[in-house]
């Protein structure tokens, strides 16, 4: 396994090189002149040239690329153009709020959807199964904005069960007071599509030979479904969950925006609106790196979920 991990880490280098080249040329050629973006509409040519000199844009292309490579290697992308805050500090200060919201949501959602998927597969074809699928189909047709607006109005404003919005400094205060309502609404949005998907994974295993063998040995249906079938259905579930983890860097920006959560998702949306290139470049590189790391973690989890999987 050590040799496999080392080989995968080595293979990340050319992938990161491709990401660096793509981001560099997109932001320097397709994205327009950064000096004009930073200077604004009311600037003159002298100010623009001064900005170009300060940013190194008058240097040869290979020098600019080397500067960007050093930024990636040191995780130092300079300062935000709009706030003047160092990009690394911006991420370090905003990321905990996003993780406080999204990690519990990811865990709760995965567990709930897995249990529902196995339970519905157990009673597949029954009225309950068909009825729940109809309800989930209706839920999937409702926009997340509807859930947010109704949730804030009914659960927070009218009934006073939760704060309408806000965020504090303490982890426990946020988890117990401010995060439950957005987590609940995020769960309502994700439970329908994810349960339907996980149910498909489980049903792919139900008719396999090992399931018929387990039933022939006299094992209870609960043990067959929640032990044997579930364990084998975990491989595609792990793939799906792992592929979604890098999205935690972006966070549920609608939830963060509507509930006043100072997370990284809201900050990225503001950066896009303001053409804040250092922040956008940083998050692009971070997401690419996180995707590769979590894909490797997913491969290792396959081995834990099913010892028959060979890592080569």
Taking the CA atoms of residue 249, residue 254, residue 260 and residue 266 in that order, the dihedral angle to the nearest 10 degrees is 40
**What's the confidence (pLDDT) of residue 194?**
93
Number of C-beta neighbours around residue 31 at 10 A? 15
**What's the confidence (pLDDT) of residue 283?**
87
**What's the confidence (pLDDT) of residue 310?**
65
Boundaries of every domain in the chain = 2-74, 96-305
Look up tokens 């190194």; give the residue.
Answer: 56
What CATH number is given for 96-305 in this structure?
1.10.3720.10
As given in the structure block, the two tokens for residue 232 are 């084998």
pLDDT in tens, the chain (312 residues): 677 778 888 888 899 999 999 888 887 776 566 766 666 655 667 777 777 777 777 778 888 888 889 988 888 888 887 788 898 888 888 888 988 998 999 999 999 999 999 889 888 889 999 999 999 999 998 888 899 999 999 999 999 999 988 898 888 999 999 999 999 999 999 999 999 999 999 988 888 888 888 888 888 888 888 888 888 888 888 888 888 887 666 657 888 888 988 888 888 888 887 778 888 888 888 888 888 888 888 878 877 766 666 666
**DSSP calls for the chain:** -HHHHHHHHHHHHHHHHHHHHHHHHIIIIIT--HHHHHH-TT--HHHHHHHHHHHTTTS-HHHHHHHHHHHHHHT---B-TTT--BHHHHHHHHHHHHHHHHHHHHHHHHHHHHHHHHHHHHTTTSHHHHHHHHHHHHHHTS-HHHHHHHIIIIIIIIT-SS-SS---S-HHHIIIIISHHHHHHHHHHHHHHHHHHHHHHHHHHHTSHHHHHHHHTT--HHHIIIIIIHHHHHHHHHHHHHHHGGGGGT--HHHHHHTT---HHHHHHHHHHTT-HHHHHHHHHHHHHHHHHHHHHHHHHHHHH-TT----
Written in H, E and C, the secondary structure of 142-184 is CCHHHHHHHHHHHHHHHCCCCCCCCCCCCHHHHHHHHCHHHHH
- pTM equals 0.82
């Amino acid at each position: 396994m050590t040799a496999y991990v080392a080989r995968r880490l080595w293979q990340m280098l050319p992938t990161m090189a491709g990401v660096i080249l793509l981001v560099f040329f997109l932001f320097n050629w397709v994205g327009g002149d950064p000096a004009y973006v930073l200077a604004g509409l009311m600037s003159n040519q002298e100010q623009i040239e001064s900005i170009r000199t300060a940013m190194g844009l008058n240097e040869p292309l290979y020098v600019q690329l080397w500067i960007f490579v050093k930024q990636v290697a040191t995780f130092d992308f300079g300062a935000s153009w709009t706030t003047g805050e160092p990009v690394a500090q911006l991420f370090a200060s905003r990321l905990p709020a996003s993780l406080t919201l999204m990690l519990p949501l990811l865990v709760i959602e995965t567990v709930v959807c897995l249990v529902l998927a196995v339970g519905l597969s157990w009673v597949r074809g029954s009225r309950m199964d068909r009825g729940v699928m109809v309800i989930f189909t209706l839920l999937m047709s409702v926009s997340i904005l509807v859930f947010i607006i109704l949730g804030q109005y009914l659960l927070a404003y009218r009934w006073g069960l939760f704060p309408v919005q806000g965020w504090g400094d303490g982890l426990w205060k946020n988890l117990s007071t401010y995060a439950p309502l957005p987590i609940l609404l995020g769960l309502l949005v994700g439970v329908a599509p994810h349960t339907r998907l996980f149910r498909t994974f489980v049903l792919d295993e139900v008719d396999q030979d090992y399931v018929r063998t387990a039933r022939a040995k006299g094992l209870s249906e609960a043990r067959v479904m929640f032990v044997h079938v579930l364990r084998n259905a975990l491989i595609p579930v792990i793939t799906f969950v792992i592929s979604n983890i890098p999205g935690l860097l972006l966070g549920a920006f609608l939830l963060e925006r509507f509930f006043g959560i100072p997370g990284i998702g809201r900050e990225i949306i503001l950066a896009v609106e303001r053409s804040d290139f250092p922040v956008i470049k940083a998050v692009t590189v971070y997401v690419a790196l996180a995707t590769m790391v979590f894909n490797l973690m997913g491969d290792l989890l396959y081995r834990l979920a099913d010892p028959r999987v060979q890592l080569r």
